[in-house]
């Protein structure tokens, strides 16, 4: 199986390495070409200079970039994937996108007789490296079935949600919970510190009490060591919460919590923490603000 791969950030690189370990032959592209060259050397695979070259080399192309603007540029921009021989090829977009962009991308590729799968993932670098992400997929069911075996190489669970856009909407809803839970954990630990309760003790209490969750399990070591090197950055959750607020507006719903969460992560960004893991909220809440 030969797969084009566009986007080698933290998560993209982990997924690419996972696929290579499972025998998938990759063709890599990244905006910073040195990253593609370096990983291609490590994985003994090809790399290309322009996204439009990917469909020359592979029938399936995975895209995982920062946001919808980046996805649109990679797929539809100058020298983008859609400028290559895209007919009958499939783009699997793992980016956490804006729900409206996803539907536009699906229609635009369909007009070119190509296929688009809305396929964001739940999880970050560590589960990706183990093939334990959760994949949310939407689009044409027959296209999903044709690509399911590939998706399962990096996923422990796969949900097919119907028409394009539904997977992205589900991902945004999940990330409201993700961002909220991280915020609560960070606030709780900061409060425990000020109350004179040890961080490790408080984390154990939360594990045995109301805090038991995937988020606590995934971020426990980062919180203990205060190593906030990025697996899932403040910038990313801030972007996702913005998309979620747009979804709330579209559906004529409301959420005081989502708006407040975005303000909190926005504060972290204003203090220069945007590139760090979103568990860095703990450091924000333990600042001496007196």
Coil, strand or helix at 152: helix
Q: What angle do CA 93, 174, 134 make, to 5 degrees?
A: 55
pLDDT digits (tens, 9 = 90+) for 19-52: 999 999 999 999 999 999 999 999 999 999 999 9
CB 166 within 8 A of CB 187: no
Number of Cβ within a 10 Å radius of residue 198 = 10
Mean pLDDT calculated for residue range 56-75: 99
**Residue in 225, 219, 236 with CA at minimum distance from that of residue 184:** 219
CA gap 76, 279 in Å, rounded: 34
CB 268 within 8 A of CB 280: yes
Q: Pairing state of beta strands 60-63 and 90-93?
A: parallel
pLDDT surpassing 50 at residue 289: no
What are the two backbone dihedrals, phi and then psi, of residue 62, each rounded to the nearest 5 degrees? -90, 135
Mean pLDDT calculated for residue range 80-93: 99
Of the options 3.40.50.720, 3.30.43.10, 3.40.640.10, 3.40.190.10, the CATH number for the domain spanning 2-164 = 3.40.50.720
Report DSSP state, residue 277: B
Number of Cβ within a 10 Å radius of residue 32 = 10
Q: For residue 185, give every residue at least 6 positions away whose Cβ sits within 8 Å of its Cβ, in sequence order, or none.
A: 206, 211, 215, 216, 219, 223, 279, 282
143 pLDDT tier (thresholds 50, 70, 90): very high
pLDDT digits (tens, 9 = 90+) for 44-53: 999 999 999 9
CB 26 within 8 A of CB 35: no
Q: How far is CA 43 from CA 15, 20, 21, 108, in A?
A: 12, 7, 9, 33
CA gap 9, 209 in Å, rounded: 35
**What is the percent of the chain with per-residue pLDDT over 70, rounded to a whole number?**
99
pLDDT digits (tens, 9 = 90+) for 217-236: 999 999 999 999 999 999 99
Q: For residue 162, give every residue at least 6 positions away whose Cβ sits within 8 Å of its Cβ, in sequence order, or none.
A: 138
pTM: 0.95
CA gap 68, 102 in Å, rounded: 8
Residue 287: predicted pLDDT: 84
Mean pLDDT calculated for residue range 153-161: 99
**Residue in 78, 81, 99 with CA at minimum distance from that of residue 90:** 81
Residue 132: predicted pLDDT: 98
290 pLDDT tier (thresholds 50, 70, 90): very low
CA gap 149, 280 in Å, rounded: 36
Helices (H) and strands (E) in the chain, counts: 13, 9
CA gap 41, 20 in Å, rounded: 12
Of the options 3.90.550.10, 3.40.50.1100, 3.40.50.720, 1.10.1040.10, the CATH number for the domain spanning 168-285 = 1.10.1040.10
Q: Which residue has the higher pLDDT, 90 or 256?
A: 90
Residue 126: predicted pLDDT: 94
Computed over every residue of the chain, the mean pLDDT equals: 97
User: Could you state, in order of their start, the residue ranges of all structural domains in the chain?
Assistant: 2-164, 168-285
pLDDT digits (tens, 9 = 90+) for 103-117: 999 999 999 999 999
Concatenate the DSSP letters of all residues of 9-27 into one string: SHHHHHHHHHHHHTT-EEE
pLDDT digits (tens, 9 = 90+) for 249-279: 999 998 899 999 999 999 999 999 999 999 9
288 pLDDT tier (thresholds 50, 70, 90): low
Residue 254: predicted pLDDT: 86
Q: Pairing state of beta strands 133-137 and 121-122?
A: antiparallel
What are the two backbone dihedrals, phi and then psi, of residue 51, each rounded to the nearest 5 degrees? -60, -30
């Amino acid at each position: 199986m030969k797969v084009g791969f566009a986007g080698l950030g933290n998560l993209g690189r982990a997924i690419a390495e996972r696929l290579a370990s499972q025998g998938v032959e990759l063709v890599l592209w990244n905006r910073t070409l040195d990253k593609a060259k370096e990983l291609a050397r490590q994985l003994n695979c090809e790399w290309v200079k322009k996204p439009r070259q990917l469909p020359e080399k592979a029938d399936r192309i995975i895209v995982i970039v920062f946001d919808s603007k980046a996805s649109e540029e990679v797929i539809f921009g100058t020298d983008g994937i859609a400028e290559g021989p895209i007919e009958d090829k499939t783009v699997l977009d793992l980016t956490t996108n804006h729900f409206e962009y996803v539907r536009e991308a699906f229609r635009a590729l369909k007009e070119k007789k190509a296929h688009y799968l809305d396929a964001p993932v739940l999880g970050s670098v560590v589960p990706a490296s183990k093939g334990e992400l959760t994949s949310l997929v939407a689009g044409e069911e027959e296209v999903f079935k044709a690509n399911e075996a590939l998706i399962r190489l990096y996923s422990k669970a796969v949900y097919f949600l119907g028409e394009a856009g539904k997977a992205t909407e589900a991902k945004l809803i999940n990330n409201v919970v993700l961002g909220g839970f991280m915020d609560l954990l960070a606030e709780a630990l900061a409060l425990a510190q000020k109350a004179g309760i040890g961080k490790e003790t408080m984390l154990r209490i939360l594990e045995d009490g109301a805090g038991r969750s995937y988020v606590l399990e995934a971020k426990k070591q980062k919180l203990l060591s205060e190593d906030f090197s990025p697996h899932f950055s403040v910038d990313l959750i801030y972007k996702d919460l913005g998309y979620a607020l747009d979804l709330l507006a579209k559906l004529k719903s409301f959420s005081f919590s989502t708006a407040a969460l975005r303000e909190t992560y926005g504060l972290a960004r204003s203090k220069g923490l945007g590139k760090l893991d979103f568990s860095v909220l703990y450091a924000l809440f333990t600042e001496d603000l007196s």
